[in-house]
Amino acid sequence: MKAEELRTKSQDELKKFVLDGRKEQFNMRFQKANGQLENTAQLRTLRRDIARAKTVATELEKGIVAKAPKAEKKAPAKKAAPKKAAAKKTTTKKADK
């Protein structure tokens, strides 16, 4: 679930979402231990959804308004001038006298 969807929910709805998520996570851990869980990636996404919901709940509690960053228009990057090849230093052998 995206944070934008969670921000539309009330504090009580977020608490219920976290509680339900924890129960589901508990059941999924047992399924994984018994080898019954087919999609183990669900545990990861569920854990992150719970954390996201808790973060939004804390923001609501503290009165923090999280706004999505606006995409700024960037000027096109200038192309770098090609580097000149470094001149090779030639060494001359001195004749033995």
pLDDT digits (tens, 9 = 90+) for 66-94: 665 565 666 666 666 666 666 666 666 66
CA dist 56 and 64 (Å) reads 9
Tell me if residue 15 falls in helix, strand or coil.
helix
Fold classified for 3-62: Helix Hairpins (1.10.287)
Whole-model pTM? 0.64
Express each pLDDT in 25-51 by its tens digit. Answer: 999 999 999 999 999 999 999 999 999
Q: Is the CA virtual torsion 35, 40, 45, 48 positive or negative?
A: positive
